[in-house]
Amino acid sequence: MKGNVIVGQSGGPTAAINSSLAGVYRTAIDRGAGKVYGMLHGIKGLMDEEYIDLSDYIKNDLDVELLKRTPAAFLGSCRFKLPDIHQDMATYEKIFSILNKLNIEALIYIGGNDSMDTIKKLSDYAILTGSEIRFVGCPKTIDNDLALTDHTPGYGSAAKYIGTSVKEIIRDSYCLEYEKGLVTIVEIMGRNAGWLTGASILAKGEDCGGPDLIYLPEVDFNVEKFKDRVEKLLKTQSSVVVCISEGIHTKEGKYVCELAAESSKFVDAFNHKQLTGTAAYLCHYICKELGCKTRAIELSTLQRAGSHLASRVDILEAYQVGGAAVLAADEGDTGKMVTLIRHSDDPYQCGTEVKDVHKIANDEKLVPRNWISHDGTYVTEAFVTYVKPLIQGDVSPIMVDGIPRHIIRPAAKKR
């Protein structure tokens, strides 16, 4: 590389997004980049000229290892959708003037669907204006809903956290007995795609029966049928553990959480409806109908930030993908996203490719219908075969005084 590289992180944080950052940094340095800048809080921060020189923070190999083990976005993240080029040229002129000033040769953006939209627009603008800056996307999302890639870095670690935590919850749920039984409803992230909730199947093994029911948003949810299922299970079991996606909805398209009067009406910048309390609502309903003890558990933020339980496969792939993005840009690619391509399940083999970001942006990959049981209450063996290789191996936290050590920038002050 002759010029400089700038990298940003966008969208919801994960346990692996900093490993991709480490991969970008290392590969850029190895390939001769002058400086590797990090934009603070993604493209939004860049527009305010907020960036750092990564070499001020990553000084040695230990720093790289710490970065790979630090959850959430080291650089800060944003949810920001660039305007359409023809509607607002000024925004693009501003971004490119900053990039030119910094002598940027390649911009790498680590993120999900919305971030690939950013890569698409910036690379389109570069082509329109004859700029030679290259733009490459690096996939990241615990949701695993990006098209054209076998899976996304971040998903494997979240899946491992979910499988382990659900298994521990199942163990816990059989301890105390209640006269009319105990129903535990675990709410897992996933608005439209059930990849994370499906990963609760990982709790199942020789030593654990796994969740009793698993409901993904890919299949319409029927509250009454759900109650009947639970009631039937309670006839033979003292404990029933159900895993549900936050985004399960009725046939009419109404989110289950909306059935509760007090559901939040918050809408984010991408017009996503914010969901809360699906498990809480269903617990309330089951308790009222069946008279049993219920408890709602939201895995919440912990499932995306639990780097102490990261998957080794995931962290290494995230690093690889970061490196591959720099490599692609250095070789002249632009408007591309690095994808993971699986060559075999067992032994697991997976490599990287680059694909046109125009084919990816804003396209949501859902769990195939035939990976969900016919009646929509479980996932099939095909799902297990898919997810199992992604959670293998551990990345031991670097423990200092009993707690995992992270690497950070000084705490962000309010702007």
Q: Which of residues 161-180 bind a copy of itself (CB under 8 A)?
A: 163-165, 167-169, 171-172, 174-177
Structure tokens at 316: 């290494």
Q: How far apart are the first and last CA of the chain?
A: 34
Q: Does 322 bind a copy of itself (CB under 8 A)?
A: no
Residue 258: CB minimum distance to a copy of itself, A:
17
Q: What is the DSSP string of 339-395?
A: EEEEEEETTEEEEEEEEEGGGTTTPBPPPPGGGB-TTSSSB-HHHHHHHGGGG-SB-
Residue 353: CB minimum distance to a copy of itself, A:
25
Instruction: Give me the half-sphere count of Cα atoms (radius 13 Å) on the Cβ side of residue 300.
Output: 7
Residues 100 and 125: their CA atoms lie apart, in Å, by: 14
Task: Find the binder of a copy of itself among 47, 85, 147, 208 (CB under 8 A).
Answer: 208
Q: Can you say whether the dihedral through the CA atoms of 224, 241, 274, 277 is positive or negative?
A: positive
Q: Tell me which of 143, 145, 314, 330 is the catalytic residue.
A: 143
Residues numbered 21 to 50 that lie near a copy of itself (CB under 8 A) are 41, 44
Task: From 189, 256, 187, 186, select the one nearest 221 (Cα to Cα).
Answer: 256
DSSP code of residue 259:
G
Q: Does 392 bind a copy of itself (CB under 8 A)?
A: yes
143 part of the active site: yes
Residues numbered 1 to 20 that lie near a copy of itself (CB under 8 A) are 9, 12-13
Residue 54: CB minimum distance to a copy of itself, A:
17
Task: From 76, 131, 128, select the one nearest 98 (Cα to Cα).
Answer: 131
Contact, 379 vs 198, CB < 8 A? yes
Stretch that binds a copy of itself, among 64-72, 214-222, 328-336, 357-365 (CB under 8 A): 64-72
Task: Find the binder of a copy of itself among 28, 73, 248, 282 (CB under 8 A).
Answer: 73
Task: Find the binder of a copy of itself among 113, 278, 311, 334 (CB under 8 A).
Answer: 311
- Interface mask toward a copy of itself for 325-354; x: CB under 8 A: ------------------------------
Residue 96: CB minimum distance to a copy of itself, A:
23
